[in-house]
Structure 1
Amino acid sequence: MKGSEQTVNVICMKWGTKYQANYVNTLYRMVNRHLTRPFRFICLTDNNKNLLPEIETFPIPELDIPDGPERGWNKLVTFSSPLYDLEGQALFLDLDVVIIDEIDCFFEHEAEFPIIKDWVKTDVTGNSSVYRFTVGKHAKILENFRKNHNTIRQKFRNEQEYLSQYVSQMGELSYWPNTWCKSFKYNCIHKGVIAWFKVPKKPKNCKIVVFHGNPNPPDAIYGKSGKWYRKVLPTPWVAEHWR
């Protein structure tokens, strides 16, 4: 067990076929290299095949809405109370992130509910690729969704818009320091013709690089952008960390 601090939780989620087991295993290894305090690594999943034995797995709790969830709304079940036997601080991480520096600071940061400030939205919306919460303390987020899911899904495009708005209204929302979480798409890939000649830049003072949309980390390593209009050269620093 690492360190002498209280054990914290790192939670991820895998369902369906979009992400294979190697994404979860790679995320665990990155956390293990970059978090010095003792931690439990939990994957909420509908398929725990081929996951490393160090990874604790639990079934994804039910959203309990009549017509089932669209992709993404599942994240709200992290606010279930109880959430199995978990307690204390929990850091949620999407599977398509690359950890490039120490992440103890995400547990040391004094805030009730920190999340990434969305890179495009100008309102309160956060990007839920990285957020921290106290297990069992925010059950009303899920309860309100279950009660008003039809209205909520008409008003909000996705789970992170609803989550940010709700927590903001409770006066508990805050954002990680600007340099900690960067977007590979918006902050690393060069714009225009220069992208054909320069490797995507590794952001300074960054802890976690978020790969939302295209490309994903394996594609960035090999220089596949996933979009005809976006050029991405093979990116060695992603390969260095995504392992």
Structure 2
Amino acid sequence: MPTTQQTVNVLCIKWGKKYGPDYVNKLHAMVQRNLTLPHRFVCLTDDADGIDDNIEVKEIPMVGFKDFDERQPWSFGHGWLKVTSFADPLYDLTGPTLFIDLDVVIVDNINCFFEPDGEFFVIKEWDKSDATGNTSVYRYTIGAHSDLIELLKNHKERELAKVRNEQEFVTQNLAAQGKLQYWPEGWCVSFKRHCLPKGIMNWFKPATIPSGAKIVAFHGKPNPPDAIAGISGKWYRRVLPVQWVKDMWG
């Protein structure tokens, strides 16, 4: 765990139009409430418009990989630009860094995410039995995994042919290097899989926070504002309005 004087980093990234600046602002507010360690909150983005002035904003870095640096269309999908978080150097950032996706709700103190010893901690992907991690929440040391950028730069076609998305690329390669570890079960949960009542009960009961959860990930549909409004985004899934999302998101 960092010493009491060491500043840690919380990092997020926003590109394109999928998420507006309100997602960055709300994530920052949640981190301020739920992280008591000395820290910097930094957003990498291609558009800082609307992001609160008290948030550190930096351009998505140039990393020497043409497809990323020129924002080739494929790099906007499936989380790929998150790989730029492994740039070395990454501006003036150093040390332990917690990357958090924008589409989450923090429901408890997150100091614990800086406690375990290890090179790369990530969520164990809930619906896969292989080594794949879910990169909604991961911790690493700035500059430690820049080899992943070089791998894409030098062997793009080969590497892209192996995987469907950024998180498979990152976690499968780090697993092969013996550097991958997973958060304790229950710290990071899926809104769809772990918070919604099962089966027909989701027509009668709203979503709840599982005991011990720290961060709820809203991957796919619904997003947090949908959950607040009671909109599922899928014809086969009922979501009643969720008060705790309204209270905790932002």
Instruction: Provide TM-score, normalisation by structure 2.
Output: 0.93
Mapped to 1, the partners of 2:17 and 2:122 lie a distance apart of 26
75, 87, 95: which one aligns with 2:102:
95
Tell me what 1:119 maps to: 126
Mapped to 2, the partners of 1:229 and 1:95 lie a distance apart of 25
1:70 positional shift: 4.1
In structure 1, runs of 5+ residues without a counterpart are none
Aligned residues: 241
- Report whether the alignment pairs 1:210 with 2:211: no
Mapped to 2, the partners of 1:55 and 1:70 lie a distance apart of 23
* Contact in 2 for aligned 1:65/1:149 (Cα 8 Å): no
190, 193, 199: which one aligns with 1:186:
193
Mapped to 1, the partners of 2:213 and 2:169 lie a distance apart of 27
Tell me what 2:40 maps to: 40
* Contact in 1 for aligned 2:9/2:40 (Cα 8 Å): yes
* Contact in 2 for aligned 1:221/1:234 (Cα 8 Å): yes
Code of the residue aligned with 2:92 in structure 1: it is D
- Report whether the alignment pairs 1:14 with 2:14: yes
* Contact in 2 for aligned 1:199/1:234 (Cα 8 Å): yes
* Contact in 2 for aligned 1:113/1:132 (Cα 8 Å): yes
Mapped to 2, the partners of 1:158 and 1:4 lie a distance apart of 37
Indicate the SS of the match to 2:98.
strand
Tell me what 2:89 maps to: 82
Mapped to 1, the partners of 2:225 and 2:116 lie a distance apart of 30
* Stretches of 4+ aligned residues off by more than 3 angstroms: none
Tell me what 2:226 maps to: 219
1:5 positional shift: 2.7
1:25 positional shift: 0.3
Mapped to 2, the partners of 1:61 and 1:149 lie a distance apart of 19
106, 127, 132: which one aligns with 2:139:
132
Indicate the SS of the match to 2:164.
coil
Instruction: Provide TM-score, normalisation by structure 1.
Output: 0.96
1:81 positional shift: 0.4
* Contact in 1 for aligned 2:15/2:76 (Cα 8 Å): no
1:62 positional shift: 3.4
Code of the residue aligned with 2:167 in structure 1: it is Q
Code of the residue aligned with 2:28 in structure 1: it is Y
Mapped to 2, the partners of 1:53 and 1:162 lie a distance apart of 34
Code of the residue aligned with 1:76 in structure 2: it is V
Code of the residue aligned with 1:37 in structure 2: it is L
Where does 1:138-157 land on structure 2 (aligned, <5 Å)? Answer: 138-157=145-164
* Contact in 2 for aligned 1:41/1:54 (Cα 8 Å): no
Greater shift after overlay, 148-157 or 16-25?
Answer: 148-157
- Report whether the alignment pairs 1:239 with 2:215: no
1:124 positional shift: 0.2
* Percentage of pairs with the same residue: 51
